[in-house]
Amino acid sequence: MKRLILILAILAALLGLSLYGISYARQTRDSLGELAAQAAGLEDRASLLQTIQELEEYWKSREPFLSFYVRHDELEKINACLSSLQSMAKSNDPAEALPLLNQLLFFANHLYERELPNLNNLF
């Protein structure tokens, strides 16, 4: 009987952690999307740089926990996109940052979708 209770407790813990990880990835995707949409609507360089800095700070706060259960190459894609976005916003017209913002949104959405339990992610 003790074994059954222990097995059920471990199963419940794994399920709870899995659901929390999915929720955390969804919150990260949604917040990155809001900040990216805000950055896409800006036309002056100073405001764009400030919003991109907020994006980077938010990502740096979320990345350590995500690194426990998300493949690191997925995280590196977002890091590379953010650093490219920062340098693009500093050197070029703010409108040229739109493709990188769209790429950032794609990577954030992809990160969330990889955490969802479905047959494509299991095999």
pLDDT in tens, 12-27: 999 999 899 999 999 9
Decide if 105 contacts 36 (C-beta within 8 A).
yes
Q: What's the angle, vertex CA 22, arms to CA 17 and CA 28, rounded to 5? A: 125
Contact 39, 101 (CB under 8 A): yes
Compare 3 and 118 and report the one with higher pLDDT: 3
DSSP code, position 42: -
pLDDT over 90 at 86, yes or no: no
Instruction: Give dist(CA 36, CA 48) in Å, integer.
Output: 10
For residues 123 and 120, what is the distance between their CA atoms, to the nearest angstrom? 6
Architecture of domain 24-122: Up-down Bundle (1.20)
pTM: 0.84
Question: Phi, psi (5° rounding) for residue 112?
Answer: -65, -45
